[in-house]
Structure 1
Amino acid sequence: MAHQLIRTFRRVGRTDRALMRRSASLPVSRADDALMALSRSANKSRLWWGVAALLATRKGAARRGALRGVVAIAGASAVANLVGKPLFPRRRPAEEEVPMHRRLRKRPTSSSFPSGHSASAAAFATAVTMESPRAGLAVIPVALAVAYSRVHTGVHWPSDVGVGLGIGVGVGLATRHWWPLHDDVPGRTAHDADAPEMVDGDDMLAVVNPNSGVAGQDPTEDVRFAWPKATLLYPDPQQDLRAQLEAEIDARGTVRALGVAGGDGTVAAVAAVAAERDLPLALVPAGTLNHFARDVGVSSMPEADAATEVGNAVRVDLGEVEIEGADGTAHRWFVNTASLGGYPEMVRLREKLQQRHPKWPSAAIALARTLRHAKPLTVRLNGKRTQVWLLFVGNGTYAPKGFAPSRRPALDTGLLDIRYLRADLPYSRARFLLAMITRSLAASHVYHELDLPELDVELLDGNRRVATDGEVGPLGNRFRFRSRPSALTLYRL
């Protein structure tokens, strides 16, 4: 057996040298400088971070591809650099294997096997392609060029690159194990609604948040073009948005519909007023991820405009939480999710960090710090005492089950999706992590999932803040969550 392995390795070595000689014999061309620059740009995945940032400026599948790609890079880099290189040390090709003009000034000193650059490139390209085949057509050639550049510049053997590509493709595909692909099918609802035809936005009051989503993409011009007769309202940072909107409605007298162009936090505030005033809502996805717009099936400004022109609308559920605290009782509506535990603290820290740093790095830092210092909550859930690390409450039943809910197949279930991680069992976080990795959460004793119309949460160890749609709410020690069936009329084709 050992003798056969030695012969196999020798054959691989001979093939590597033959391929290196063939590459080295290529004539001098402008491609040499381009491949050297491309190879350097992929150091520490800087190239892919830049491509991800570019893709993230576009909504929908391209943005989801960017996020999945970044996750895949992290996994592929760990497998190649932290596992593969230490376990399989291998000398890199000698400098003399390639002509002088192709040699990198700073040659890497780590093990040659496998190629980390190739693994990261393939992981990113695979992940992006799964979400957006169109974006993948642009990314895949660049990824293959990066992989070949490692041979062209003489820092990797061809077999290093081949195995690296295999690792990257495998890790990219493996992300589906924990993060299922979104099928872009809007959530269904059996409740059609009567809504007025809003030609050019006449008698519409539209809230526009220029600070939502990607910086520099103010949706004002799109809203003005679609609804030239609408009155635009911009959130005042010194006021509560709901109070500001209600005051404007009262001042105007005649408002037949509301519009909103912003992220999910802005959408939730306007949706609350629309539900309470029984006004139809026109939704423009202008946030970072636009979870609600994606689930209800409104992907662009033209779709929202077309729905208002013909008065096509449906009724969908909303979530509501009643908060009891030292300052009295407050109510908050949510269109996506609410949570208790570590998440509200993460949101508060993220907002503080965002004053000096970009949004995504701030979110990553806040998440890491929050998980490290998380403390359990002692609570009564519908009267039953327990301890939890965190509590998730979704507006409607999410799919898939497990710790990565990504979509709502139906928008009118009249139920809340409740998920929580227990803290009263030994090694609960470690057991949860193991169950999540092995996809055995359904059989786990530390993680629970319920679908209920209402949930009463009483804190037994002080006050905490609830987070709704990424926004932090007031302090409270009792929270009553409930589903509000068909509470919102929403324009949708």
Structure 2
Amino acid sequence: MADQELTWRGTVARWDRGLFDAVARRHWPGADRVLPRLGRAANHGVLWGGAAVAITVLGSPRARTAALRGIGSLALASATINTVGKWSVRRPRPVLDGVPLTRQPAVPPRTTSFPSGHSASAFAFAAGVALESPVWGAVLVPVAASVAFSRVYTGVHYPSDVVVGSALGVAAALAVRGLAREAKRARAVPGDERPAAGVPALPDGQGLTVVVNTASGTAGTAGLDVLRERLPKAEVVECAGEELEAELAAAADRAEVLGVCGGDGTVNAAATAALRAGVPLALFPGGTLNHFALDLGLGGTEDTCRAIAEGQAVRVSVGRITPTDGSGDGATRYFLNNFSIGAYPELLRHRLRWAPRIGGGPAAVLAAWRVLRAERPVRLTLAGRPRSVWLLFAGNGTYHGTGPTPRRRDGVGEGLLDLRLVHGGGRPGPRLMAAAFTGPLSRSPFHVATRRRGLRVEDVPPGTPLAYDGEYAKAPASLVLAALPDALAVYRPR
């Protein structure tokens, strides 16, 4: 057995050295200039940090999540390699005979050779991004492969060091994705919403119509195959864009239960249709963030299918926006997450205007620069008192966390509005930052927080935008915000 192991090690060592020497003898035009520089750029993760910043600035919300996953994967791979990998094998670096001096590093590495840390970091970042955003992954994987190859080309590592390091990087990315999924499931903890009586149980899905927004962030991977398997008689309608609201309204009118697959904006439209038709809602999370589904305690498609089959649902509260003067389009709107007037809707307005021309990422950066540089506080009347505000935020239920726009709730059945107000005056950037650091204080020089059943908002300047669940509209001159307790039945397993 020992002889076989020695033979195997000798074969790997000969293969390693032979391939290393072959690369050393080979000259590719331009490689002597490009590959050493690329390897140096990847020192200490600088190259990948820069790539993460670029993706964050230029990419969509899903791309930004991908960049964060990439950095997390790189951190895990680097920590594993440097604490366990390097010191468990202690393989000497290759002898540089035959490697041209122009390729060799000016300062030879001092750590052991096996496995390649650069290769692990490169493939950890690229795979972490690719698992969340295949488009960006297609851009990064060739760069990662070039960095890994540069380690052999410059004589720093044997080929097996690079192969194992790359494999460990991919393993780190898979581990981070698994941890992220577990964390997402852990956040989806059911609250104390009141059980909904009388909702139909649909063991095979007969009577359920599910409208899928194919343009939503993760609708394509939301587990609809599970839906079709568990509830084979359910009707599934795929659509996007302007036809979405009409399809939701039609489905709510003909179905016993309205189902929806999409992000928070799509879920808002479905909830509006369900409220108007008086039918319960079945939610299949298919967006990038899925705030409402997570705060409700839904972990995914399997949970919703089980609840529909067994007839288990809860009553949730809904926020309502009612115009009181006939201005604007006069439509009553609802929100499941939050409503706002001020800096955030202005940012959303600018981003939506510029995104078709320059792309979502650059539009978001340009919109933030415009808002923080040029916007003025909104002067309006709140509950009969004149106010100047940078931001008015109303959450459907109490949010936790610091700042004027916190993002987590323990449940969605409270029936109260979580009101946050950032006072006007000064510049918007410092004010909003100061409000974020003051936390959920009842009163401060920057920030007011309270909870109420409703709020009257009057004297809104013409053209002022409002945002609700990430959607954008023009605000009427006066409106009433109200919390509607137990307004909507939503399927969720007990």
TM-score normalised by length of structure 1: 0.64
Structure 2 vs 1, CA of residues 58 and 339 (structure 1 numbering), >3 Å: closer, same or farther?
A: closer
Hey, what does 2:390 align to over in structure 1?
389
Structure 2 vs 1, CA of residues 342 and 63 (structure 1 numbering), >3 Å: closer, same or farther?
A: closer
Structure 2 vs 1, CA of residues 374 and 274 (structure 1 numbering), >3 Å: closer, same or farther?
A: same
User: 3-state SS of the aligned residue for 1:363?
Assistant: helix
Structure 2 vs 1, CA of residues 437 and 413 (structure 1 numbering), >3 Å: closer, same or farther?
A: closer
Hey, what does 1:312 align to over in structure 2?
312
Structure 2 vs 1, CA of residues 52 and 461 (structure 1 numbering), >3 Å: closer, same or farther?
A: closer
Hey, what does 1:229 align to over in structure 2?
233
Hey, what does 1:418 align to over in structure 2?
419
Say if 2:214 is the partner of 1:207. no
Hey, what does 1:340 align to over in structure 2?
341
Hey, what does 2:368 align to over in structure 1?
367
Q: CA deviation at 1:205?
A: 1.5
1: CA distance between counterparts of 2:277 and 2:297? 23
Q: CA deviation at 1:200?
A: 2.7
Structure 2 vs 1, CA of residues 256 and 38 (structure 1 numbering), >3 Å: closer, same or farther?
A: farther
Hey, what does 2:192 align to over in structure 1?
189
1: CA distance between counterparts of 2:224 and 2:312? 23
Structure 2 vs 1, CA of residues 431 and 272 (structure 1 numbering), >3 Å: closer, same or farther?
A: closer
In structure 2, the gaps of 5 or more residues are: 1-16, 25-34, 75-97, 107-116, 129-143, 157-183
User: 3-state SS of the aligned residue for 1:405?
Assistant: coil
2: CA distance between counterparts of 1:43 and 1:57? 22
Say if 2:490 is the partner of 1:490. yes
Q: CA deviation at 1:269?
A: 1.0
Hey, what does 2:262 align to over in structure 1?
262
Hey, what does 1:246 align to over in structure 2?
249
2: CA distance between counterparts of 1:103 and 1:291? 54
Deviations 1:103-148 (A, max 9, x none): 77999xxxxxxxxx99xx8xx99xx9xxxxxxxxxxxxx9xx99xx
Q: CA deviation at 1:392?
A: 1.1
User: 3-state SS of the aligned residue for 1:192?
Assistant: coil
- Report if aligned partners of 1:378, 1:385 keep a CA contact under 8 Å in 2: yes
Deviations 1:411-454 (A, max 9, x none): 22111111121114x56753553453576966631211111110
Structure 2 vs 1, CA of residues 286 and 427 (structure 1 numbering), >3 Å: closer, same or farther?
A: closer
Query: Quick one: which amino acid aligns to residue 407 of structure 1?
Result: R
Q: CA deviation at 1:338?
A: 1.0
- Report if aligned partners of 2:41, 2:47 keep a CA contact under 8 Å in 1: no
User: 3-state SS of the aligned residue for 2:346?
Assistant: helix
- Report if aligned partners of 1:304, 1:492 keep a CA contact under 8 Å in 2: yes
Q: CA deviation at 1:482?
A: 0.7
User: 3-state SS of the aligned residue for 2:369?
Assistant: helix
Q: CA deviation at 1:273?
A: 2.1
Structure 2 vs 1, CA of residues 299 and 190 (structure 1 numbering), >3 Å: closer, same or farther?
A: closer
State how 1:321-470 maps to structure 2 within 5 Å: 321-323=321-323, 324-327=325-328, 329-424=330-425, 426=426, 429-434=429-434, 436-437=436-437, 444-470=444-470
Deviations 1:193-213 (A, max 9, x none): 132212232111111100011
State how 1:291-310 maps to structure 2 within 5 Å: 291-310=291-310
- Report if aligned partners of 1:319, 1:334 keep a CA contact under 8 Å in 2: yes
State how 1:266-305 maps to structure 2 within 5 Å: 266-305=266-305
Structure 2 vs 1, CA of residues 38 and 485 (structure 1 numbering), >3 Å: closer, same or farther?
A: farther
- Report if aligned partners of 1:189, 1:316 keep a CA contact under 8 Å in 2: no
Hey, what does 2:202 align to over in structure 1?
198
- Report if aligned partners of 2:282, 2:308 keep a CA contact under 8 Å in 1: yes
- Report if aligned partners of 1:205, 1:232 keep a CA contact under 8 Å in 2: yes
Q: CA deviation at 1:188?
A: 1.1
2: CA distance between counterparts of 1:392 and 1:359? 24
2: CA distance between counterparts of 1:301 and 1:63? 24
2: CA distance between counterparts of 1:297 and 1:445? 36
Q: CA deviation at 1:379?
A: 0.7
1: CA distance between counterparts of 2:36 and 2:492? 48
Q: CA deviation at 1:258?
A: 1.0
Farther off after superposition, 44-53 or 374-383: 44-53
Q: How many residues align?
A: 380
Query: Quick one: which amino acid aligns to residue 299 of structure 1?
Result: G
User: 3-state SS of the aligned residue for 1:213?
Assistant: coil
Structure 2 vs 1, CA of residues 101 and 29 (structure 1 numbering), >3 Å: closer, same or farther?
A: farther
Query: Quick one: which amino acid aligns to residue 289 of structure 2?
Result: L
1: CA distance between counterparts of 2:18 and 2:37? 13
TM-score normalised by length of structure 2: 0.63
- Report if aligned partners of 2:61, 2:288 keep a CA contact under 8 Å in 1: no
Structure 2 vs 1, CA of residues 102 and 380 (structure 1 numbering), >3 Å: closer, same or farther?
A: farther
1: CA distance between counterparts of 2:196 and 2:240? 32
Higher radius of gyration, 1 or 2: 2
